[in-house]
A and B are shown apart, each in its own frame.
Chain A
Amino acid sequence: MLPVEITVNGEARHAAVDARRTLADFLREECALTGTHLGCEHGVCGACTVLLDGEAVRSCLLFAVQADGAEVTTIEGLGGPDGALSPVQDAFREEHGLQCGFCTPGFVVSVTALLAENPRPSEPEIRDALSGNLCRCTGYQGIIRAVQRAAGASE
């Protein structure tokens, strides 16, 4: 077991973890933050996307020990403490960008990272940025509209 200190959604977490424990399992089980979902566990579907020091990463492909000393933001850390939705979350609701909701945390985190880097993406840029996240319900229609809406709101 290896000691780690990871700041998750602003809160310092000290834990001892197996070297092989994934960051996703650490977040879901040790931190009880079950909003990070596992859809493939081989780095394609993007449901497990979290922010690691502000950058979108796949938490199924990282070990918890690799996040030692880092700041992690999960879907639970994006909205307000009173339950208020972030602009991206709100845009997903307004534009029907989710149905079953399983892929949604990964999309919301990916879009949050995209808009931080590129506040006004073109539609091809949006589609390209979303290509690392799979959704099986929406046909991506509402998701693309949601990104456009959130980008407009951030202007």
Chain B
Amino acid sequence: MSASTAGRFVGQSVKRREDPRLLTGHGQYVDDIALPGMLHCTFVRSDVARGRIVRVDTSAARAVAGVTAVLTASDLNPHAGTMQPTLVMAMPGAPLRPLADGDVRFVGEPIVLIVAESRYVAEDAAELVEVDIDVEPPVIDVERALDDGMPIVHPELGTNLGGEMEFPVSPELEALLQGDNVVRRTFRQQRHTPVPMETRGIVVAYEPAGGAIHAWMSTQNPHEAKQAIARVTGVPAHLVRVEAHDVGGGFGQKFFTPREELTVALAARRLGRTLKWIEDRRENLIASNHARADVAHCTFALDTDGRLLGTYIDHIEDAGSFPVGATGGAGQLVGLLFTGPYKCPLASLRTRAVWTNTCGRGAYRGPWMFETVAREQMVDAAARQIGIDPLEWRRRNVLASAELPYTLPTGLPLDMVSPAETLEQAAEIIGYDAFRAEQRRVFAEEGRLIGIGLGLYVEPSTGMMDPMGTETAVVRVDPNGQVTVSLGTGSHGQGIETTMAQVVAEELGIEFDDVTIVQGDSAVTAYGRGTGGSGTAVIAGNSCRNACAIVRAKAIEIAAHLMEAAPDDLEIVDSAISVRGTPTRSVAFAEVARIAYLETARLPEGMEVGLEATATFKAPPFSWSNACHACTVEVDRATGVVSILRYVVSEDCGVMINPMIVEGQVAGGVVQGIGGALYEHFVYDDDGNPLTTTFMDYLLPTATEVPTIEYGHVETPSPTPGGHKGMGEGGAIGSPPAIFNAVADALALVGATIDHTPLSPEVVLLALG
């Protein structure tokens, strides 16, 4: 944080206001909600990836004492409205449905919903449901899903191609790609899944007399949940209220409103009861949403000095059966961003989303991040192929500040980023050159394999698609001068109650402790985008700023009237409005607030009573942030185990609101990326049976595997009022290729190569031969 931008609160590592309640067990997560008459739900799910449902016998389950209802597709599906989210309402997608009807399309698809007096009884009943399925051959391998003769995942659609975008290859690029100086590689990233520590869940009350739904959910996006529940249940949206109190992580999984929550809401509406459904971990692993299952065939065309002349990427994303949100993930951005922070005159691409009989794809922290994975791994492959150091390759190709703004070869405008600066800062912090010398020494003297890897990227926080780009803030000053701000956000670990209070206190010139943030309740906040897509600092932050500007101007106008001063001469400092340069002439902000409500005769003639403002902020199409990750690893030649020695992130998220929280977000993302690079793999067998259904099989990083993360900061303010940039996702974008490149660098000492993750001991040992 530079001295020029640090404020009294903005730029300070203010301790989080959320923490005392969370640390003492007084958070309120969805499973903590208990209502009178509440019943408990569980789903009976398919254990077959693809097949015809021949028979569902629920009679024994219905006979269990304490069971209220056993619902199948015929009970719910005919009453359901569209399950498509607002963002992609007009786009073609999978034929979403509450419960499997006639056939099943992945292992874990819900078939029956049991409603009972307790979760224990519901699960007893679930075990008594008999489901007969005629098993049919499934589509599991995404790279074969488009072959002739393959079964079709969604018969209604007639094809396994869920979406496609292709740019024509110009004759000029074609000549380069067919030339001699090209690098071709295929990289694969394994399927993994967000794994918030709190699973999904909903408590939903439908009260037939009033016709209203009140739901509590583990969601990042209460307004979207409200709209989605209204569409599915048919209850008018103004009679639907969704609250999210504390939310135990989301990472994208809880941004849209998933199938199970909507199905339970619909059941509550049909039964006229209050229902609770809390997902168990097995369900979360097999049936919530998956991510990161990508393949790309990549080509770089280079000049004789290694400078990039043209690129081509042919990308396939595994969309699974019923994606949550957009079809597939973000394959279009994978193609559009493939050249990233490097100068490159020509590029073309093809990207396809493909249906398979697996759990649907959904958002996960940087849904498009395979562009960085594929590109950065290509960079190291290219550098090795032409015999220069990967750092030197990046120095020759990276965009310098003087070359901005720059239009990517795919047409996206890039500006206000600092990739070259973060590259140099990361290389310096990690001691790149010294490591190279050490690497040669330990290999020569001890035969040990250590390696260094870089991951450089630019990250777009896009506000292009409505409603993703807009947030509305209501800043309400009480008669005692304290401020309540309401936002449509749904914090799930970001500390929004703290950071947005910092922004408001800074803008109004009042104390941090005098500001409270209210969020996560559709009934008391204006319609908003929720929390996701690295959008809160820029979008919610600037909506707060805009509302504060109105409040500040009105407070100053009142003070000017009271003091018989010119408004232009006044400022708000330390909760007092005073004449600039003459602090003795002042009136307390709280006194102005009091007068605005309680002594209205003293207001300027004609002024509206009260002190409150509502304002929105619409984000620009792109707010770019950037970072460079650098890490060093050791590969154990005997066991194949990869150990991370050091890890450095140099990032530029513009003006930081709270550096402690910025570094916390970076660290969390990095460690999720470490999981993706080394451990996490959701595995299906050839029949579509999930093999990693517990935390004993689906391996998350623990405290023993992660390094101490070191940080460097570069600050290039964004062209938005606060100068902030999105930074929630970046940690998870840069880390997988940085680790991959470090391992590849170590393995290159003995001529071994790798092309897919996770880099498990088995994969590394196979590479070592």
Contact = CB atoms under 8 A, between A and B. Distances in A.
Contacts of A119: none
Contacts of A79: 23-24
Given A37-B198, A93-B20, A100 B493 contact: yes
A58 B664 CA distance: 27
Interface in A69-128: 74-76, 78-79, 83, 85, 89, 92-94, 96, 98-105, 108, 126-128
Interface stretch (B84-92, B229-237, B665-673): B665-673
B661 A89 contact: no
Contacts of B495: 99
B738 to A, nearest CB: 14
Contacts of B703: 126-127, 130-131, 133, 140, 143-144
Contacts of A93: 15-16, 19-20, 23
B756 interface: no
A139 B19 contact: no
Interface string B701-725: 1111010110000000000000000
Given A103-B197, A141-B667, A131 B696 contact: no
A35 B696 contact: no
Interface string B646-677: 00000000000000110110011111100000
Nearest to A76: B25
Nearest to A90: B23
Most chain B beta-carbon contacts within 10 A, residue among A45, A130, A135, A141: A141
Most chain A beta-carbon contacts within 10 A, residue among B18, B20, B247, B703: B703
B23 A47 contact: no
Contact of A140 (B199, B663, B671): B671
A132 to B, nearest CB: 8
Which 10 residue pairs of A and B lie closest in terms of their CB atoms, listed nearest first?
A: A35-B25, A102-B248, A101-B22, A139-B671, A100-B493, A99-B493, A139-B667, A75-B25, A44-B695, A130-B703
Interface stretch (B27-35, B581-589, B635-643, B746-754): B27-35
B57 interface: no
Interface of B: 15-16, 18-20, 22-29, 31-32, 34, 120, 195-199, 246-249, 251, 280-281, 492-495, 660-661, 663-664, 667-672, 694-696, 700-704, 706, 708-709, 731
A142 B702 contact: no
24 contacts: A38-B31, A39-B198, A45-B197, A79-B24, A85-B20, A93-B15, A93-B16, A96-B663, A100-B196, A100-B198, A100-B248, A100-B493, A102-B27, A102-B29, A127-B703, A130-B703, A136-B195, A136-B672, A137-B197, A137-B664, A140-B671, A141-B663, A141-B667, A141-B706
A139 B120 contact: no
A44 B698 CA distance: 11
Contacts of B706: 139-141
- Contact residues on A (Cβ < 8 Å of other chain), bracket: 35 or more
A110 B31 CA distance: 22
Given A102-B248, A138-B668, A37 B29 contact: yes
Contacts of A59: none
A135 B20 contact: no
A128 B704 CA distance: 6
A45 to B, nearest CB: 6
Nearest to B196: A136
Given A102-B198, A139-B670, A42 B281 contact: yes
Given A41-B281, A99-B495, A134 B702 contact: yes
Contacts of A144: 703, 708
Contacts of B251: 136
Given A34-B31, A101-B248, A141-B667, 18 more contacts: A28-B31, A75-B25, A76-B24, A76-B26, A93-B16, A96-B661, A99-B249, A99-B493, A100-B246, A101-B23, A102-B248, A103-B197, A130-B704, A134-B700, A134-B702, A136-B197, A136-B668, A137-B249
Contacts, number: 174
A18 interface: yes
Contacts of A141: 663-664, 667, 706, 708-709
A35 B27 contact: yes
A35 B27 CA distance: 7
Contacts of A44: 694-696
B462 to A, nearest CB: 24
Contacts of A153: none
Contacts of B668: 99, 136-139
Contact of B22 (A33, A41, A98, A130): A98
A21 B16 CA distance: 36
Given A40-B695, A99-B668, A127 B23 contact: no
Contacts of A89: 23-24
A44 B484 CA distance: 40
B664 A99 contact: yes
A92 B671 CA distance: 19
A83 B248 contact: no
A101 B251 CA distance: 14
Contact of A131 (B25, B34, B669, B704): B704
Contacts of A132: 702
Interface in A6-42: 18, 20-21, 28-29, 33-42
Contacts of A18: 120
A42 B696 contact: yes
Contact of B197 (A74, A76, A100, A142): A100
A41 B695 CA distance: 10
Contacts of B24: 35, 75-76, 78-79, 83, 85, 89
Contact of B25 (A36, A39, A92): A36
Nearest to B25: A35
Contacts of A28: 31-32
A104 B660 CA distance: 18
Nearest to A106: B197
B736 to A, nearest CB: 14
A40 B25 contact: no
A143 B709 CA distance: 13
A75 B708 CA distance: 27
Nearest to B658: A96
Most chain B beta-carbon contacts within 10 A, residue among A104, A131, A140: A140
A105 B248 CA distance: 12
A133 B695 CA distance: 11
A134 B281 CA distance: 13
Most chain A beta-carbon contacts within 10 A, residue among B16, B25, B26, B246: B25
Contacts of B708: 141, 144
Nearest to B278: A38
A65 to B, nearest CB: 15
A33 B25 contact: yes
A34 B493 CA distance: 18
Contacts of B694: 40, 42, 44
A94 B691 CA distance: 40
Contacts of B23: 75, 79, 85, 89, 92-93, 98, 101, 104, 108
Most chain B beta-carbon contacts within 10 A, residue among A33, A89, A136, A143: A136
A147 B79 CA distance: 53
A39 B218 CA distance: 14
B331 to A, nearest CB: 25
Given A35-B25, A44-B694, A45-B695, A136 B700 contact: yes
B13 to A, nearest CB: 8
A104 B31 contact: no
Nearest to B671: A139
A138 B25 contact: no
Nearest to A102: B248
Contacts of B18: 101
Interface in A40-58: 40-42, 44-45, 47
